Amino acid sequence: MIHAYNMRLIQIIQHKNLLSSFCFFSTYKKKQTQTKVSLVLNPKKKMGSAKSALLILLLAMVIASCATAMDMSVVTYDDNHHVTAGPGHHVTAGPGRRNGVFDVEASLIFESWIVKHGKVYDSVAEKERRLTIFKDNLRFITNRNSENLGYRLGLNRFADLSLHEYKEICHGADPKPPRNHVFMSSSDRYKTSAGDVLPKSVDWRNEGAVTEVKDQGHCRSCWAFSTVGAVEGLNKIVTGELVTLSEQDLINCNKENNGCGGGKVETAYEFIVSNGGLGTDNDYPYKAVNGACDGRLKENIKNVMIDGYENLPANDELALMKAVAHQPVTAVIDSSSREFQLYESGVFDGRCGTNLNHGVVVVGYGTENGRNYWIVRNSWGNTWGEAGYMKMARNIANPRGLCGIAMRVSYPLKNSFTTGKSSMA
């Protein structure tokens, strides 16, 4: 019963800052509280001795908790769920009073996070399971951020997912390139040479060549989003027109790929050429599920066309830099680390492998506080990373690049303003 009263009290307060304010108020009003307690003990009052004792104990517990609430906090957070460790704290699992404080704080943060991200769970048991995962991720985030790295982790949309669940939802790029490349041309277009002079920084967002960040949802369609993003950018550069194109067109109609089951970016480029172009998102909006190819719709929509595509020489960050200086490009990377899952801001140089599994668009590069980075556009909505983007460390010792970013890069070709209708019936 005492536990129920305490939980109700926490639910009423609903925020650590309000709890601190309440504690201050309670301490300030200690004499008044003691006076009220003496009234409870007055036998003339109509209150049972058992209930009186319970209230006294509850008040004592609240006051005792308040005495240490300000210095026992193990995490600090704001309304956007930016998380840091409290002074001198390294959050760990296990028994103890400090972990009890962490559990209470984590539960409050979780409730706020649920509201922000519009999460709805099927059952109380499922919510409890998600809370357990959330707490584990919160510990991981807090401890990593306490190491003063060049990047920060945060409670983004994936904070209630285990690493395994995150991989199952977000990794949709086939690790092996296709064997046949009908419309791929070979070129030394972006091969580097001693005389190359490249801009110190490039950001195609500033040139209006990047559409708003998109969200693939629970569909493993990163291969489609990364392909479409590069085509949108090149179309703007060549024609001066920024058109938001349709990933659903690829998911439904590109039968050589597997829709929400994953696919190859090279095969997507092949389809766009053979299909006579790609429809707009307005004509063929995204559904985040597999569907039948709507031939009647495609007969009447305006398509943005490309002439072909090329692959960049592998394992050459300088060549990648030269390519990005001319246009946004598609890269297949390894995004399977927990740090990548929970990335929030800064120049990311965290743990990352080279098992390619996720398609992204590289839309620029630059330097921040002496640290070189790539500007990577993701397809996980604008609540992940820096409004949907990541700054990924550039010019590292490994020629493959961080997360294998230089291993498998491709880009579309477009020589002139070309539009047309689909060749599919």
Catalytic residue ranges: 222, 358, 378
Residue 91: both structure tokens together? 């959050």
Q: CA 371, CA 203: separation in Å to the nearest integer?
A: 16
Angle between helices 16-28 and 30-41 (to 10 degrees): 70
How many CA atoms within 13 Å lie on the side-chain side of 346? Answer: 17
Do residues 83 and 145 touch, judged by C-beta distance below 8 A? yes
Question: Is 411 strand, coil or helix?
Answer: strand
Question: Comparing C-alpha atoms, which of 303, 51, 313 is closest to residue 190?
Answer: 313
User: Under a CB-based contact definition with an 8 Å cutoff, are residues 213 and 299 in contact?
Assistant: no
How is residue 270 written in tokens? Answer: 């092949």
Tokens of 300: 């009447």
SS3 content of the chain, % helix, strand, coil (to 5): 40, 15, 45
Q: DSSP string covering 316-372, please?
A: -HHHHHHHHHHS-EEEEE---SHHHHTEEEEEE--S------EEEEEEEEEEETTEE
User: In sequence order, which residues have a C-beta less than 8 Å from that of residue 190 and are 6 or more positions away?
Assistant: 312, 313, 319, 320, 322, 323, 326
Cross-strand pairs, 389? 377, 386
Nearest CA to 162 out of 119, 120, 117, 131 is that of 131
Assess contact for 348 and 151: CB atoms under 8 A: yes
**Number of neighbours of residue 348 by Cβ within 10 angstroms:** 27
